[in-house]
Structure 1
């Protein structure tokens, strides 16, 4: 199982230099990917912009939106161009993870309704694939640049319903679970595989998950402060999210083992703080 690390793009107070230094250290430490969390109504950096900054100071590590709330990007052709640009500028390292999101305020702030968002996401994915295929749109030809990978960047889709799993099988390359437990992952993963087989897809879907972490002195306080704020809209359930955060090297190791046993292909540890020591502490914990 690959082990990635999230950028602290949604951690309040993270300065640009810290984000860039974090990216460089993550690549040096050997993590498989840099992930980003998507949310509009919160203090944080937009995902594609954050990953573009990371791309400029790295050369190997994958760049994964985990996940970008695609329906909020209403100009689908422009989103396709932005994704292809990041993919081309990073020499094909973009993994575009997309989902619907679970916060009404993100949609309200965008002047959008949450109704029909699943249908809109499918329309977006279909349109982006057409753009990435080089379909001509005007006198100048196609919307460029051409992605490095034929057909466009790798597409990873979120969601926990049967409909979401079917969407993965029809339109995606894989599936991501956003911050659940290893048991939740192990329970959901067979549904993804079943939908994949039913759709007649070859091989298997790549399956990813997120897990939160905080390490070193003050780990509990750091995880509590960030996660209770970020997930405050969930009420008491936010404390369950906090309880699942890995706040020691032993918890990191057990989290890795549990997700690997559940069939996870890549686990991305999402930080709850932006101190650069967190990168090294996590690397030591999984060594």
Structure 2
């Protein structure tokens, strides 16, 4: 199917299909990237408290001069803040310099202490975190337009939906041809949960950028391999995607989406059978079996 420009959330709101990701984007560079992206047509910006760059993202938003109601803004509740979501929400709003979030995600279903380094916090249940996010969403509709989750496997989604009064609007997960997570994508589509794909290229200097299937399709359309990897996600009906860059030319290039045909999509989806990897490997030492499966 043709690539979409926006996806409808279960709240009735629309989320732009392509947004600027800021994971690993350093202060000093990320504010310029955000400013440049917004000035050049991007309608979605994604960050997180854990990235430690919310203030710089906020500076980029302000410097862009783009009206707040003309773009979609996402940030995430950090693991050590799961006991104090009220304060965490206010902190994110303050650092970003905005009055509201279009989307607020639980970054991981993994409460952690504020120690350095942080440790598993077994005194708190992440399901209680979600209940508090629901409370804040209902109490402050002017501050929170939607809530969702990130890095949730099917097992964790099932546990959440068994007690939730609000179905998450989004589940943000690592998603690329070598980590397709078909089970999560299919489950979320059935439940009306939009998927947001992070690390769509796989990783920095990803082997996917030189994969023969990817480069063949890129040559056909006269685009960079990165465009094909981003377009793969944008061609899915229930998926938004977050390419990340702090370089002007790449920020512009990443927004160039190609309409892939069914055969090309099928070829790209076969890559994980021979080239399978995951870019995000958090250290969950001390958490026991959290149920985070490898990519499927």
The TM-score by the shorter chain falls in which range? 0.5 to 0.7
Shift of 1:114: 5.4
Map of 2:11 onto structure 1:
none
Deviations 1:119-155 (A, max 9, x none): 2x22123223324544xxxxxxxxxxx4526xx3311
Counterpart of 2:229 (choices 241, 249, 255) is 255
**How many Å separate the matches in 1 of 2:39 and 2:258?**
15
Counterpart Cα distance in 1 of 2:122 and 2:176:
25
Residue 280 of structure 1 corresponds to which residue in structure 2? 252
- Aligned-residue offset at 1:116: 6.8
Aligned match of 1:140: none
**Total equivalences in the alignment:** 226
Task: Find out whether 1:166 has 2:158 as its counterpart.
Answer: yes
CA distance in 2, matches of 1:97, 1:159: 10
Confirm or deny that 1:75 pairs with 2:84. yes
4+ runs deviating over 6 angstroms:
none
Can you give the 5+ residue segments of structure 2 that lack an aligned partner in the other structure?
Answer: 5-16, 260-296
- Offset of 1:25 from its aligned partner? 1.3
Secondary structure at the aligned position of 1:109 is classed as coil
Matching of residue 148 in structure 1 with residue 142 in structure 2: yes
Distance 2:159 2:173 in 1: 14
Gaps of 5+ in 1: 40-44, 135-145, 197-203, 215-221, 225-241
The structure that is helix-richer by fraction is: 1
**C-alpha contact (below 8 Å) 1:55/1:90 kept by paired residues:** no
Give the structure-2-normalised TM-score. 0.60
1:46 equivalent to 2:52? Answer: yes
Q: Residue by residue, what CA displacement relative to the aligned partner does 1:51-71 show, whole Å, maximum 9, x if unpaired?
A: 433332342222223x54334
Per the alignment, residue 235 of structure 1 pairs with none
Q: Note if contact 1:107-1:113 (Cα within 8 Å) is conserved in structure 2.
A: no
2:149 matched residue in structure 1? 157
Structure 1 residue 182: Cα displacement? 7.3
Quote how far apart the aligned CAs of 1:86 are.
6.7
Q: TM-score, normalised by structure 1?
A: 0.62
How far the C-alpha of 1:115 sits from its partner, in A, is 4.5
Aligned to 2:24: 10
Q: Please state how far the C-alpha of 1:160 moved relative to its aligned partner.
A: 4.1
Matches for 1:117-266 after TM superposition, within 5 Å = 119=125, 121-134=126-139, 146-148=140-142, 152-166=144-158, 169=161, 170=164, 171=166, 172-181=168-177, 184-194=180-190, 196=191, 204-213=192-201, 223-224=204-205, 242-244=206-208, 249-266=223-240
